Structure 1
Amino acid sequence: MTDVELSERVRALVAEGGFAEAWASLRPALRLGGGYGLFRRAVRLLATAAGRGWTPAYRRETRLALLSTFETAELGELLPVACAIHGLRVEVHAPPFGQVEQCLLEPAGLVAFAPTHVLLAPSTQDLGLSDLVEEPEAVVDAVVARWTGAWRLVAELGARPVQLLFAVPDGDVLGNLASTVPRSRTTVVREVNRRLAAAASRSHVLVVDVDRIASDLGKRTWFDHRIWYATRQPAGYEGLAATAREIGAVLAADAGLGCKCLVLDLDGSLWGGVVGELGWDGVDIGPGSARGEAFRAFQEFLADLRDTGVVLAVSSKNDGAAAREPFERNPHMRLRLDDFAAFVADWRPKSEQVRDIVEALGVSPEDVVLLDDNPAECLEVRQRLPEVGAVVLDGPVADFPRLVASSVLLEPVSRTEEDTGRAASYTARGQAERLRGEAASLPEFWHSLEMTARVRPVTERTVERAAQLSRKTNQFNLTLRRRSPAEIDALRRAPDWTCLTIGLADRFADHGIVGLCLAGPVSGGELPIDTLVLSCRVIGRTAEHHLLAALSRHAADAGIRRLRGHYRPGPRNALVADLYDRLGFQRDDDGWFLDLTGTPPIDSPYIREQP
């Protein structure tokens, strides 16, 4: 279906009041690179639907202040759509453009709005660079100082900065020589971007690489100088839609809404042909054909995603033994069986297979994306599991990596050691589940895992991982509070707060840091537990007992008389509703409490603390 046909279908559905169906039709196309026309159709859809009392299902909320050097009225209208496609509701506050420093130095308006994020949006045009820049180093220093200074002011407001980088100009009088000349406008803008990106990686600042967006779209399309002179908007309309999509993806990922698990079809998706007909040595993969090499390259792309922390699983309508044979015996396969955390191959509907994978891995359906070359299979999954994302692998195999990457479902905002080991951890989870089935009782199972833990104070090195857990954890999250890296960094330095992480290892894998406890401030001899979260990878291992045992010992040693616990019910955290009861806390009108003067600290008999 073309964009025009889709737009007309959505318009007809809206006219009939079919808002949910219209949004379900439009959302996948917006994820996969829908253009400005579809974005405008979505703006009208959401506005009309809201007037009739319907809104999409939102999983998170954020408040975004938009401080820019260019006109952002259009961008401000597109951003709610760009966030909504991920299940993120955003409220946008956009002061008049050109007042970045004024708004930050006299922040009454921002303080009243209370943003969670502040988008800092400069344009290349307002740099005012000539083709040959005088004193290029001083110019770069000044631009970098301006925006890093803005980051500090944003952080003082308790918000997280989101920095747009600069689009390298599409025209330079030096042509190809520009890249080799330090004074060229091209070189200066690239150096500004490099310096800002390097500083952002050290400062918990989110970055949107506008030059990459412009290059993907095409500089001649992204830049529209007529619009700049007419409206002071640096990008053309298609460029604006593409930029909004990427901003929405970054904000959603920061809210913990990124994809955790890719579920992969096999025939026609990871190799050419049908393995049940051709056998393990007859499928098209690797050298010998252009198509086979393209499938091998796609597997390389997926292997790289796995290395970044995306979990891979298989859902295939196939004979189970035949489906496994290429991974076991074909030397040209890049992926092997141990690259997958779950492998389901039978003749049931894909939705049932995917549901089994979700349950086996303990992830949420919203964290899963299916990749399949069959549109009918993707449609069946979308209809029966609407929370699961689905991407149809259509077109040439050589374009599969670009298609998946452009879906904005895989946007990371940070990289931690735990991300690198996540896939192996989920594979180990499957091994542990098999061990659970063999054990006579849960205590026997816990003992057989041979678990060790590392409870440590949050440090500068682990702040980002702590914030990741706070933002992304849903099922084992007692209070549903979401803390930014800057907030956690401030809390760990506060004298009346205790901020702890727990790392867990068992006989199958080292899972890295999997839990976070933020407790404070101390008041009247009582220490309230502000945040208690645990990764779904280790739910059911008693790690929460071990973490709270450490907190209770620390509190007792500090002379604190009580721990105070609270539970805030949400759509997916019912499994921890009775946690404090199970841990021996007593109930009163203000939640739960543990009297540290009359009872011993919490016990953790199944996990050994590492020195």
Structure 2
Amino acid sequence: MAELKFSEYINKSPTLVKKPSMKDVKVAFLSNFTITGLAETFKVLCYEHGIFIDCYTAPYNQYQQEILNKSSQLYKFNPDIIFILLDGEQLFSDFYYFPYRMSEEQRKQFIENQFKEIKNLISILKENTNAKIVINSFLVPHYSSRGIIENKQKNGIRSSIQALNSMLESLSHKNLQLFVFDTSIFCSKIGYENLVDKRLYYYADMKIAPKALVKLANEYLAYIIPLASMTKKCIVLDLDNTIWGGIIGEDGIANIKLGPEKDGKPYFGFQKRLLELHERGIILAINSRNNYKEAIDAIKNHKYMVLKEEHFASIKINWEDKATNIREIAKEVNIGLESMVYIDDDVRNREMIKELIPEVFVVEMPNDYAMYPEVIENLKMFNTFNITSEDLNRGKMYLSQKKREQLKSKVQDLNSFIKMLGIEIDISKANNFTIPRIAQLTQRTNQFNLTTNRYSEEDIKKLASDGNHLVYGVNVKDKFGDNGLTGTFIINKKFKEKWVIDTFLLSCRVLGRDIEKAMLNELISMAHKEGVKELIGKYFPTQKNMQTAKFYAENGFKHLDENTFLCENPSPTENIDAISVILN
């Protein structure tokens, strides 16, 4: 997606029409300086990623009034996310230019008071909205009249603003709703001279230059993608001229470009960036038209290969067309095509995948391979609001999955396979440790998810403690390893004798082993013990959860209407012999 001119984003924004498949997100911008054009630019960028945003930009420098007034347009708009952009030069007034008119202690107190004011505004926002809150850190001034001795000043202007930024970061550590956008990192990325247009700043109070506003909007995408539950799960990689330089079938293992020096360095760095993503839970797969023996030999034996065979959940090295291979990879790792990202140096292959599998996000690769590591750094679609233990262990889990598939190929029927796995299910009430993962499952599970209700961590915390709901996490393990927390169900028990199943889902990673039946049977058993007369199941169809359409009917529920199923006087059946269930 080529970057447009600032004016082109503004002109294009009003012409956008929502497509049926697009996710909706409501975005609010609050600022103490002019940000004209940011909302329009952001709307176009989100649209290009399949997200339709509705924007509210507060009037100029009215951020405090908007937050303090419970009847303000901000709260009427009811945003999903709020971006707060504050300019320290304007906020700190004389302190920004004349800090040394104050004593050392007065400077310290001034910054603490600024933090208290910001903290109070954030607390009020939290009381009145469930929106994610993103506030920028403050730029440390690049100029000081004290010159080279500025950094020696205790509670000087630079150290004071750094202290304020540290306070904001500490506040965000304790607050699930709050995120701090690091302005210094953004500035180091694009350059201070590109951030500020002094002419526009002094004449129009436009602190951020138009070109930099486009860059900023692109950085803000990192927050919208997980909010819209559109985080990608898998990177599918070509080999030749992608993860190494050259063609393995022609150049041979000794002559491909890969290593810490000269021509091999960009590929070496590219692989390191990919390994970083793998270690935080992103699935890697290979899709290469090559002779298997030569390519796998390079992967196993080239001394500078950062990515090893065990890092790939699926390896397709053959002479099939690449679209067929991608579909096979999706089946093998059991994820939807919309969760995949494809990286290939060959523009013809990229265009083919765009045409044949539009659900897959195809990365545009630069002609200069020295830029390859930067490609990974600029991708926003792997962001999440939390990284769970399941994410960190996903690589090991897929290695275990390969062993399960090998076992499955050796047995005659599904029941024998399930028995040989020795499955154990631990069903436990949500706690502080499991809540992040339960929220993540509601946001990211699409296939076996009967209602697709999306919940944040804050939502799950409230449901688990409000007295009207039961929230359970389901941990699955077998003889090959621990799959982690892969399922959840949420019950609305507001009426004692009538329970409604608000959420019932299971990760695609453990489907096909009757685990969902064991979960439902345990839920029915719980309802029976509590004297429940009616257990209501809901099913809301989407393009991705059609496999669950008959789940309740096939497990003894009456079909009342299009979306509702009833289990009267719920009574559990015998547990599935091959699955051990523990309820905590």
Q: TM-score, normalised by structure 1?
A: 0.87
Q: Which moved more, 1:446-455 or 1:181-190?
A: 181-190
CA distance in 2, matches of 1:544, 1:305: 30
Residue 407 (structure 2) aligns with: 435
Aligned-pair CA distance for 1:601:
5.6
Residue 112 (structure 1) aligns with: 76
Map Cα deviations across residues 472-519 of structure 1 (whole Å, 9 max, x no partner): 122122112111211111111011210011121223332211122121
Cα distance change of structure 1 residues 577 and 328 upon mapping to structure 2, 3 Å threshold: same
Residue 504 (structure 1) aligns with: 476
Aligned-pair CA distance for 1:206:
3.4
Q: Secondary structure at the match of 2:432?
A: coil
Map Cα deviations across residues 124-182 of structure 1 (whole Å, 9 max, x no partner): 33332425464443344333333333333333334223222224245222556545544
Structure 1 portions without partners, runs of 5+: 1-27
CA distance in 2, matches of 1:416, 1:383: 35
Q: TM-score, normalised by structure 2?
A: 0.91
- Paired residues of 2:437 and 2:485 also in contact (CA < 8 A): yes
Cα distance change of structure 1 residues 478 and 177 upon mapping to structure 2, 3 Å threshold: farther
Cα distance change of structure 1 residues 439 and 596 upon mapping to structure 2, 3 Å threshold: farther
Q: Secondary structure at the match of 1:130?
A: helix
- Paired residues of 1:76 and 1:92 also in contact (CA < 8 A): yes
The answer to whether the aligner puts 1:566 opposite 2:533 as a matched pair is: no
The answer to whether the aligner puts 1:221 opposite 2:221 as a matched pair is: no
In structure 1, what residue type is equivalent to 2:83?
A: L
CA distance in 1, matches of 2:236, 2:148: 43
CA distance in 2, matches of 1:583, 1:178: 72
Q: Secondary structure at the match of 2:559?
A: strand
Q: Secondary structure at the match of 1:294?
A: helix
The answer to whether the aligner puts 1:262 opposite 2:202 as a matched pair is: no
Residue 217 (structure 2) aligns with: 244
Q: Which among 69, 77, 87 is matched to residue 123 of structure 1?
A: 87
Cα distance change of structure 1 residues 106 and 344 upon mapping to structure 2, 3 Å threshold: same
In structure 2, what residue type is equivalent to 1:286?
A: G
Residue 353 (structure 2) aligns with: 381
Residue 308 (structure 1) aligns with: 280
Aligned-pair CA distance for 1:586:
1.9
CA distance in 2, matches of 1:464, 1:148: 24
Aligned-pair CA distance for 1:304:
1.1
In structure 2, what residue type is equivalent to 1:88?
A: I
CA distance in 2, matches of 1:575, 1:226: 59
Cα distance change of structure 1 residues 175 and 403 upon mapping to structure 2, 3 Å threshold: farther
Aligned-pair CA distance for 1:568:
0.7
Aligned-pair CA distance for 1:566:
0.5
- Paired residues of 1:312 and 1:342 also in contact (CA < 8 A): yes
Q: Which moved more, 1:492-501 or 1:162-171?
A: 162-171
Residue 10 (structure 1) aligns with: none
Aligned-pair CA distance for 1:524:
5.2
- Paired residues of 1:206 and 1:250 also in contact (CA < 8 A): no
Aligned-pair CA distance for 1:602:
7.4
Residue 41 (structure 1) aligns with: 8
Q: Secondary structure at the match of 2:449?
A: coil
Q: Which moved more, 1:432-441 or 1:416-425?
A: 432-441
The answer to whether the aligner puts 1:371 opposite 2:335 as a matched pair is: no
Map Cα deviations across residues 228-255 of structure 1 (whole Å, 9 max, x no partner): 3333332111111111112122111232
The answer to whether the aligner puts 1:88 opposite 2:51 as a matched pair is: yes
Q: Secondary structure at the match of 2:189?
A: helix
In structure 1, what residue type is equivalent to 2:125?
A: V
- Paired residues of 1:585 and 1:594 also in contact (CA < 8 A): yes
Residue 148 (structure 1) aligns with: 119
Q: Which moved more, 1:444-453 or 1:331-340?
A: 444-453
Q: Which among 497, 503, 521 is matched to residue 525 of structure 1?
A: 497
Cα distance change of structure 1 residues 372 and 187 upon mapping to structure 2, 3 Å threshold: farther
Q: Which among 50, 60, 77 is matched to residue 23 of structure 2?
A: 60
Q: Which among 376, 386, 406 is matched to residue 404 of structure 1?
A: 376
Residue 331 (structure 1) aligns with: 303
In structure 2, what residue type is equivalent to 1:296?
A: F
Identity of aligned residues (%): 24
CA distance in 2, matches of 1:117, 1:49: 21
Q: Which among 225, 233, 243 is matched to residue 206 of structure 2?
A: 233
CA distance in 1, matches of 2:129, 2:575: 37
User: Equivalent residues in 2 for 1:436-451 (5 A)?
Assistant: 436-451=408-423
Cα distance change of structure 1 residues 213 and 559 upon mapping to structure 2, 3 Å threshold: same
Q: Provide the aligned C-alpha RMSD in A.
A: 2.4
Structure 2 portions without partners, runs of 5+: none
- Corresponding pairs, count: 572
Aligned-pair CA distance for 1:535:
1.8
Residue 17 (structure 1) aligns with: none
Q: Which among 589, 594, 609 is matched to residue 567 of structure 2?
A: 594
- Paired residues of 1:301 and 1:401 also in contact (CA < 8 A): yes
